[in-house]
Amino acid sequence: MSQAFQNDDAVIQPRKGKNDPLLGPDVLMVVIGQDLARLSQFKPMDRFDQEFFRIFRVKGQKSEGISLAGPFLGAPQAVMVMEKIVALGAKRICVFGWCGSLQPDLRIGDFVIPLRALAEEGTSKHYPVGKKKPGTDPGLNQILERALHRGGLPSRKGTVWTTDAPYRETASKVTAYREKGVLAVDMEMSALMTLAAYRSVKVSGLLVVSDELFDLKWHRGFASPIFRKRCEQAGKLLTDMFGKET
pLDDT over 70 percentage in the chain: 93
The predicted model scores a pTM of 0.94
Instruction: Give the pLDDT confidence score for residue 217 in this predicted structure.
Output: 96
Average pLDDT in the chain: 92
Write the pLDDT tens digit of every residue in 204-236.
999 999 999 999 999 999 999 999 999 999 999
Strands (E), the chain: 26-30, 45-49, 54-58, 67-70, 92-101, 111-120, 155-163, 184-186, 202-212, 219-220
pLDDT over 90 percentage in the chain: 80
Give the residue-averaged pLDDT of 57-79. 87
Give the residue-averaged pLDDT of 81-105. 97
Domains within the chain, CATH numbers bracketed? 22-241 (3.40.50.1580)
Higher confidence at residue 233 or residue 242? 233
Chain-centroid distance of CA 170 in Å reads 23
Active site residues: 211
Contact (Cβ atoms closer than 8 angstroms) between residue 164 and residue 120:
yes
Check whether 6 has a pLDDT greater than 70.
no
Instruction: Give the pLDDT confidence score for residue 243 in this predicted structure.
Output: 57
